[in-house]
């Protein structure tokens, strides 16, 4: 009986990935400018904060690895623009802080492409965000997959309206940390 929520969540992710065709459900992360120091302070004052990263998790990659890595974010599938905005802003800032270079959609120096698929499950007063990130090379070959879930105490409502920005920012932190670990291990 305990496997039912996991199976249901997996099915929801599959449905979200295959049926999402609305431009409202897709957000291009490279279109989001990072927050300035003033905007970040304002976001924290408005209750949109995230846990402080540990010094180990936020350490930059080795300079040689970071210099070779140029990451492009493909559009995010399944999340609303409102939910994806804090995610995409944090992805970009976290990648830069880890020494991962960012690339535009048509940048020939791109080495890795990150594409994300998201869905939510609300049970009682708790909403869980399920996510899958596929990492591709420049030619479109899938190299690695990161997946997980983030439980968010519901701020009222169901689905994406119940997911606070801090939960999406935590997903971004975890994603970039796992990506950096994988890149560091896969490129020597």
State the pLDDT at residue 22. 35
Give the position of tokens 């969540």: 9
Sort residue 55 into left (φ over 0), alpha (ψ -120 to 50) or beta.
Answer: alpha
CA pair distance 66, 64, nearest whole angstrom:
6
Find the Cα–Cα–Cα–Cα dihedral 81, 153, 175, 56, rounded to 10°.
140
| DSSP-assigned beta bridge partners for residue 147 | 132
Residue 3 has which token pair? 């496997």
Render pLDDT for 75-84 as a digit per residue (tens, 0 to 9).
999 999 999 9
Domains of the chain: 3-20+65-186 (3.30.160)
State the pLDDT at residue 149. 97
**Which stretches of the chain score pLDDT less than 50?**
1-58, 187-188
CA pair distance 75, 31, nearest whole angstrom:
10
Q: How many CA atoms lie within 13 A of 61 on its CB side?
A: 28
Render pLDDT for 90-109 as a digit per residue (tens, 0 to 9).
999 999 999 999 999 889 99
State the pLDDT at residue 67. 58
* pTM to 2 decimal places: 0.67
């Amino acid at each position: 009986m305990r496997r039912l929520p996991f199976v249901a969540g997996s099915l929801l992710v599959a449905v979200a990935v295959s049926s999402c065709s609305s431009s409202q459900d897709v957000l291009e992360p490279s279109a989001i400018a990072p927050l300035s120091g003033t905007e970040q302070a304002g976001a924290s004052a408005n209750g949109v904060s995230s846990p402080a990263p540990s010094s180990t998790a936020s350490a930059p990659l080795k300079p040689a690895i970071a210099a070779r890595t140029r990451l492009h974010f493909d559009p995010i599938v399944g999340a609303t623009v409102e939910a994806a905005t804090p995610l995409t802003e944090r992805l970009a800032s976290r990648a830069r802080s880890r020494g991962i270079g960012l690339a535009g959609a048509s940048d020939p120096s791109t080495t890795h492409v990150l594409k994300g698929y998201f869905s939510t499950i609300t049970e009682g007063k708790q909403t869980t965000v399920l996510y899958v990130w596929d990492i591709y090379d420049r030619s479109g070959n899938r190299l690695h997959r990161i997946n997980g879930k983030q439980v968010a105490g519901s701020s009222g409502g169901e689905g994406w309206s119940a997911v606070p920005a801090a939960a999406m920012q935590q997903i971004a932190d975890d994603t970039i940390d796992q990506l950096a670990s994988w890149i560091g291990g896969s490129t020597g």
